[in-house]
Chains A and B, each alone.
Chain A
Amino acid sequence: MSKAPGDPAHRGDRAALLRLDAVRWTTPADAGDARTVLESVDLEIGAGESVGIVGRSGAGKTTLLSIAAGLLEPSAGRVTGPSGGSPAPGEIGLVFQEPERGFFEETVLADVAFGPRNVGASEAGAAEAAREALRTVGLPPELFAGRAPETLSGGEARRAAIAAVIALGPKVLFFDEPTTGLDQDGVERFRAVLAELRKAHRTYVVVSHDLELLAEECERLLVLDGGRIAFDGSCAALPDGLPPEWRDDPAAWGGELAVVAAAMRARGWIERDTPARVDVLARAWVIP
């Protein structure tokens, strides 16, 4: 049996792209009641990994992304980026929540090309990077390059905003709640973007309340709870290893599918490291 993808031993053979050592973050005292959002976070993400992060609102997920992307200085601890120092601008691409609110150019192509142009790419180079990024997110430039951003549907706009980050050529992509407000089609198309990234061996981290999405699209899962990483392992191990209050109330964190998968595992219908994917479980379901 192959090793679970989240197993640290398995990650050891991949070059580390990003490392957090004892990272701590406390809200500035002048913001009212200062509180510690991240206690002490150690984390290493290897090249080509797909990582999901789940946690209650206020658990520090967005803070963790901001620190790892170099947008926020940790109160203590150290962040090491892909080139060995602090993450440099553009090395880590962060797709914010509801990123489509940030469009400002007149065409989709101009908006996606803005980033690379801004960091010094030539006009032609920026346009080419933008076209390539639009293809990656499933918006063929032949159809979408000349469109005005406000004429895009919700799902299309979300993907165009993702393309704007991809066009910068980051080594790691962070997505913060990428499916908020999307309908089923929008979610499916976002999943296709992730599949495309995996095919290209790109590294990504997705923060979401949608544990099902993470279990299906990420090999490794982190649970952030009380400012610490409470679980770090393979999605296929769920719900084992989770903090008890999560394990005992799967509906509270969207882990229903994992419960069914665990029952199937106990019965020997699926292997120990089989992920809780709908298609996989349906295939493995034995008709007595």
Chain B
Amino acid sequence: MIRLEGVRLDAPVAAGSGPPARLLDGVDLEIRESEYVVLCGANGAGKSLLLQLMAGLRQPTAGAVLFDDEDISTALVFQSPDDQIVGSTVERDLAFGLENHGLPPDEIRRRVREALDWSGLAPLAARPPHLLSEGEKQRLALTSALILRPTLLLLDEPTSRLDPPARRRFLEGVRQARSATGAAVVHVTHRSEEVLTAGRIVGMESGRVVFDGTPEELVAGEAADRLGIRWSGLHRLRRELRARGAAGPVPAGPEWNDAQALADEVGR
């Protein structure tokens, strides 16, 4: 649905101060319909810039960002909800994007009412955003993105400030939205639990794509340690044990984070 071809992005520089830094360097990448792609890479690898290019917030210095057809729409959820919440109440924030798109008032009211229901934000409809918890704010940011019915949802480290239960709820909200709308998702994250549950992982280093494959391929390969992934304690323990020959093969999926399974191995 969206294709990046030879995308290059240079940092802006003042005249005469030497060659510009290359922020993105020859990125070729295709995101297909309904795909769930995790984008990872160390701080400064270019992940957020790539999302901003896909969202049309930036133009490449060279190369092209191509859409299959004109019906493709994108919506972006930032790391910090404070960067995108604009309404004076939850309800008004939900309506803001729709008003910008020029939808008729009746349609806006209907969609906001529906969104309040499925997002669970209904009890908070009249509340000013600054009185929401961090988890509630991020749920509002996600709902304000989904209410636009994007075909491509771009998530820029949306869970990094959330506590574990709120993180779970947020990802469940994304999962439900995907199964309802079939939207494709590109999700930037450092967390191994989130990386290893994706169907496809794209890894970046210094402005280039250096890995594109499945969790199994990532865990088996060499790139895993160059992508800045924050391996959970259980992952690190399993890897240590494998290195010492104590535990069997390391599973690449969510079972890698199953503490009970590992505790059971202690009992054996």
Chain A interface (Cβ within 8 Å of chain B)?
Answer: 31-33, 55-58, 97-98, 153-155, 177, 180-187, 209, 212, 215-216, 250-254, 256-257, 259-260, 262-264, 267, 269, 276, 278-279, 281-282, 285, 287-288
Contact = CB atoms under 8 A, between A and B. Distances in A.
Interface in B157-172: 157, 160-166, 168
Contact of B131 (A32, A184, A282): A32
A180 to B, nearest CB: 5
A259 B259 contact: yes
B196 to A, nearest CB: 14
A257 B262 CA distance: 9
A264 B266 CA distance: 6
B134 A57 contact: yes
Contact of B161 (A154, A180, A184): A180
A260 B168 contact: no
Contacts of A267: 266-267
A254 B164 contact: yes
Contacts of A209: 162-164
18 contacts: A56-B163, A57-B135, A97-B161, A154-B44, A180-B160, A182-B43, A185-B43, A215-B233, A253-B164, A254-B164, A257-B259, A259-B263, A263-B266, A264-B266, A267-B266, A278-B236, A278-B237, A279-B240
A183 B228 contact: yes
B241 A285 contact: yes
A262 B190 contact: no
A215 B234 CA distance: 13
Given A31-B131, A279-B240, A256 B232 contact: yes
B231 interface: yes
Nearest to A216: B233
Given A256-B234, A282-B237, A181 B79 contact: yes
A148 to B, nearest CB: 12
Chain B CB within 10 Å, residue with most, of A260, A264, A288: A260
Interface string B202-214: 0000000000000
A209 B42 CA distance: 21
Interface residues of B, number: 45
B133 interface: yes
B3 to A, nearest CB: 27
B221 interface: no
B135 to A, nearest CB: 5
Contacts of B131: 31-33
Interface in B112-139: 127-128, 131, 133-135
Interface string B253-268: 0000101101110111
Contacts of B259: 250-251, 256-257, 259-260
B171 to A, nearest CB: 13
A152 B76 CA distance: 26
A183 B244 CA distance: 26
A-B pairs with the 3 shortest C-beta distances? A183-B228, A154-B43, A256-B259
Contacts of A269: 266
B39 to A, nearest CB: 13
B43 A212 contact: no
Nearest to A62: B134
Given A57-B166, A252-B164, A252-B168, A285 B232 contact: no
A250 B263 CA distance: 13
Nearest to A56: B163
Interface string B134-178: 110000000000000000000001001111111010000000000
A276 B266 CA distance: 14
B233 A257 contact: yes
B230 to A, nearest CB: 5
B266 A212 contact: no
A183 B266 CA distance: 31
Given A57-B162, A256-B259, A285 B42 contact: no
B16 interface: no
A184 B266 contact: no
Contacts of B18: none
A27 B80 CA distance: 23
A287 B233 CA distance: 20
B14 interface: no
Given A183-B230, A212-B233, A252 B165 contact: yes
Contact of A287 (B43, B160, B163, B245): B245
Contacts of B43: 153-155, 181-183, 185-186
Given A259-B260, A264-B266, A278-B236, A56 B165 contact: yes
B134 to A, nearest CB: 5
